[in-house]
């Protein structure tokens, strides 16, 4: 359930980038402070493990389909929340760059859905609270299942919210929810089962590995606070989109919020660039998105859409189509010429 660039609006994308960059920065700083030099190679290879594990499937009995491990919760149990977040984020980043799984803008959303949710929200707030210090068999089973389910449900929920807030998909919010949540109920159960099985395998084979994480974490309260803040940011960002009729409302609120969190990554680097660009483009009339929940009124909505449709009046559909074809031809031609000339230029050198 990777979020994809094509379903995202730049505002939502930038907001989620900011949130995820903040999370990654926070966790990097924490790890830097801990200075456990064993952690660098361990996180690296466990990321590789996660990646490799996701390529192995198992068949889910009775359905004929197959599943695999997402791993956010498992890594949090093994490495602690900060290292787990960085590891999941790095796997997602490789997937974005090499398999274009998701995409570069959607990376922020994906890190949030699959990394921050299980590692910084569910693990400290649910798993650690419930599991206690010396859990029995039953308790461990129940808590692991509940945590995995919760992580999956929250992840799926944020996919839905992000998609809806972006407004590219016409899928109504309620239908989308009804589609996503039950599917992820099943996936969450499977995730819980695999996590539990792997943890108990490790407990039998190398108990000392799990002992590392069983002590109470001193910084968990701060992490929890950070989690709450992030959550608030998300909800504020998502809801303000729905609440505000004024298209600029979200940009304004996000800019204000990201400014207020005063994490350095928000002002420097990519997110700032994204928001700045968004501000520039937003000076021109923003297209009102047709209210997806009211499909019958689409023509009316279209007529209110200020620009795109205004040019695309009745007759100009043809003009658009002709123009599209010509543009494609032009692009292809340019590429061919470039390739030829490139070859000609390179050939004498070589």
Cβ atoms of 254 and 129 closer than 8 Å: no
> How far is 144 from 136, CA to CA, in rounded Å?
12
For the record, the structure tokens of 309 come out as 């449709």
CB of 234 to another protein, least distance (A): 19
Interface with another protein includes 248 (CB under 8 A)? no
DSSP bridge pairs for 59: 66
> How far is 209 from 261, CA to CA, in rounded Å?
36
DSSP bridge pairs for 66: 59
CB of 150 to another protein, least distance (A): 21
Interface with another protein includes 284 (CB under 8 A)? yes
CB of 229 to another protein, least distance (A): 19
Radius of gyration, CA atoms only, the chain: 23
Interface with another protein includes 295 (CB under 8 A)? yes
Question: What is the CB neighbour count within 10 angstroms for residue 7?
Answer: 20
Interface with another protein includes 137 (CB under 8 A)? no
Interface with another protein includes 5 (CB under 8 A)? yes
Between 45 and 232, CB nearer to another protein:
45
DSSP state for residue 287 in the 8-state scheme:
P
> How far is 73 from 75, CA to CA, in rounded Å?
5
Between 66 and 221, CB nearer to another protein:
66
Between 46 and 116, CB nearer to another protein:
46
Q: What share of the chain is helix, strand, coil (3-state, %, to 5)?
A: 75, 0, 25
CB of 37 to another protein, least distance (A): 4
Interface with another protein includes 37 (CB under 8 A)? yes
> In degrees rounded to 5, what are phi and psi of residue 67?
-130, 175
Candidate residues 9, 113, 147, 253; the one interacting with another protein per rule CB under 8 A: 9
Interface with another protein includes 243 (CB under 8 A)? no
Cβ atoms of 117 and 84 closer than 8 Å: no
Between 45 and 235, CB nearer to another protein:
45
Q: How big is the site for another protein, counted in residues (CB under 8 A)?
A: 132
Interface with another protein includes 10 (CB under 8 A)? yes
DSSP state for residue 6 in the 8-state scheme:
G
For the chain, count helices (H), then strands (E): 16, 2
Interface with another protein includes 310 (CB under 8 A)? no
The stretch among 113-121, 140-148, 238-246, 331-339 that binds another protein (CB under 8 A) is: 331-339
Secondary structure (3-state) at 259: helix
x-or-dash pattern for another protein, window 83-122, by CB under 8 A?
---xx-xxx-xx-xxxxxx-xxx-----------------
> How far is 23 from 6, CA to CA, in rounded Å?
24
List the interface residues with another protein, window 151-210 (CB under 8 A): 163, 167-172, 175-176, 190, 193-194, 197-198, 201-202, 204-206, 208-209
Between 125 and 154, CB nearer to another protein:
154
Question: What is the CB neighbour count within 10 angstroms for residue 242?
Answer: 13
List the interface residues with another protein, window 38-67 (CB under 8 A): 38, 40-49, 51-53, 55-61, 66
């Amino acid at each position: 359930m990777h979020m994809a660039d094509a379903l995202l609006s730049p505002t939502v994308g930038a907001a989620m980038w900011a949130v995820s960059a903040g999370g990654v920065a926070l966790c990097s700083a924490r790890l830097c402070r801990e200075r456990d030099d064993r952690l660098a190679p361990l996180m690296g290879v466990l990321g590789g493990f996660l990646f490799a594990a996701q390529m192995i499937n198992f068949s889910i009995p009775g359905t004929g389909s197959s599943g695999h491990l997402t791993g956010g919760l498992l890594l949090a149990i093994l490495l602690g929340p900060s290292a787990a977040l960085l590891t999941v984020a790095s796997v997602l980043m490789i997937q974005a760059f090499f398999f274009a799984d998701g995409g570069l803008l959607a990376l922020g959303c994906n890190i949030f859905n699959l990394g921050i949710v299980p590692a910084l929200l569910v693990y400290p707030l649910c798993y650690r609270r419930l599991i206690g210090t010396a859990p029995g068999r039953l308790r461990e089973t129940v808590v692991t299942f509940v945590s995995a389910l919760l992580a999956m449900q929250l992840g799926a929920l944020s996919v839905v919210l992000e998609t809806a807030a972006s407004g590219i998909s016409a899928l109504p919010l309620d239908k989308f929810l009804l589609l996503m949540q039950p599917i992820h109920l099943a996936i969450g159960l499977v995730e819980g089962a695999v996590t539990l099985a792997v943890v108990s395998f490790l407990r039998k084979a190398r108990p000392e590995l799990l002992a590392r994480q069983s002590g109470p974490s001193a910084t968990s309260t701060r992490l929890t606070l950070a989690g709450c803040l992030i959550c608030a940011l998300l909800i504020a960002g998502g809801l303000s989109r729905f609440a505000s009729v004024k298209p600029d409302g979200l940009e304004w609120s996000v800019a204000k919020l990201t400014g207020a969190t005063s994490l350095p990554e928000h002002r420097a680097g990519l997110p700032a660039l994204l928001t700045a660009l968004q501000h520039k483009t937003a000076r021109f009339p923003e297209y009102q998105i047709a209210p997806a929940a009211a499909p019958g009124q689409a023509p009316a909505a279209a007529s209110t859409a200020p620009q795109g449709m205004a040019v695309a009046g009745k007759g100009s559909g043809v003009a658009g189509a002709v123009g599209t074809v010509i543009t494609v031809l032009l692009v292809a031609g340019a590429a061919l010429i470039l390739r030829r000339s490139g070859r000609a230029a390179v050939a004498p050198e070589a």
